[in-house]
Amino acid sequence: MQLQVDFVNKTFPSFEKGGQVTALGKVQFVANPGEFLCILGPSGCGKTTLLNIIAGLDSHFDGKVSLIGNNSEGCVPRIGYVFQNPRLLPWRTVEENLQLVLSPKQIHSGIIEELLVSTELEAFRKTYPPQLSIGMQRRVALVRAFSIQPDLLVMDEPFVSLDKPMADFLRGLLLDYWQDRKPIVLFVTHQLAEAFQLAGRLLVFSSRPGTLILDVPVSVPYGKRKYQNKYKEFVKQLSNEYPLLLDMI
């Protein structure tokens, strides 16, 4: 399966009568099967807008987004969205929140138990989300997106406002899941360090109106990315090639 984003551009009506604000310039890229893309850009550059367009939540835009090819089961591609805020239904327990997005067949496959155990959430399956810490809510939201076994995983700064150990733990979970099942991942962040940890390819956006200014692969093997010197090397290389980049993000 492949994701093609062709000259997507988005304008909002502005407050002045008849005025238009461009949120997103003409954005064009292709995500190949199993690719992990990090989208990096200053806040307000239209990253969330782009994700909503790709996930099909916003259909008022110019250009074209296509998911080409069927998934492994020959069905319509499934999209798992991890929003910036967890968006769990407070009136349903953790388990019920997960069951909501699954088919009866998936519920009986035991995937919920499996994922709750691997995220150390099994003790909280009967808990209502408002009683959980924000970190745990984010974990549940992650599990929810994993549980539908998405072909495209869309993530909008899912690990902000978490302490470092928790964020590292969840990034590890995400990488394991991705390496295991190889969905296409679009991961939005504004931290270069986080993008370096995760990305197979880096898409850098300019500030509003967001346009794609840089599209580079991250070739450092995942096993070596935890080393500080590798990160420094990477940053140095980037800033040599694109001197203005580091001021922007």
Partner 1 sequence: MLSGKSIRVSLLSFVSLLSLWQLGAFWADSRLFPPPLKVLEVLLESIDEGELQYHIGHTMFRVALSFALSMMMGIGIGIALGRSRPLDRFFDSWLTLFLNVPALVTIILCYVWLGLIEAAAVLAVAINKIPNVVVTIREGARALERDYLEMAQSFRLSRYTVLRHIVLPQLAPFLVATSRSGLALIWKIVLVVELLGRSNGVGFQLHLFFQLFDIASILAYTIAFVMLIQALEYGILQPLERRVNRWRR
Q: Segment contacting partner 1 (CB under 8 A): 33-41, 75-83, 211-219, 239-247?
A: 75-83
Q: Is 12 in the site for partner 1 (CB under 8 A)?
A: no
Instruction: Output 104 or 165, the one with its CB closest to partner 1.
Output: 104
- Amino acid identity at 165: P
Among 36, 47, 50, 52, binds partner 1 (CB under 8 A): 52
Among 21, 30, 89, 246, binds partner 1 (CB under 8 A): 89
Burial call 144-156: b when 16+ CB within 10 Å, e when fewer: bbbbbbbbbbbbb
Q: How many CB atoms lie within 10 A of CB 12?
A: 13
Q: Is 98 in the site for partner 1 (CB under 8 A)?
A: no
CA R_g for the chain: 19
Q: What is the separation, in whole angstroms, between the first and last Cα of the chain?
A: 31
Residues 6+ apart with CB under 8 A from 230: 220, 224
Distance CA 75, CA 19 (A): 42
Q: Segment contacting partner 1 (CB under 8 A): 9-17, 53-61, 216-224, 233-241?
A: 53-61
How many residues touch partner 1 (CB under 8 A)?
23
Instruction: Output 83 or 196, the one with its CB closest to partner 1.
Output: 83
Instruction: Output 121 or 238, the one with its CB closest to partner 1.
Output: 121
Among 148, 162, 238, 245, binds partner 1 (CB under 8 A): 148
Among 130, 165, 221, 223, binds partner 1 (CB under 8 A): 130
Residues 6+ apart with CB under 8 A from 15: none
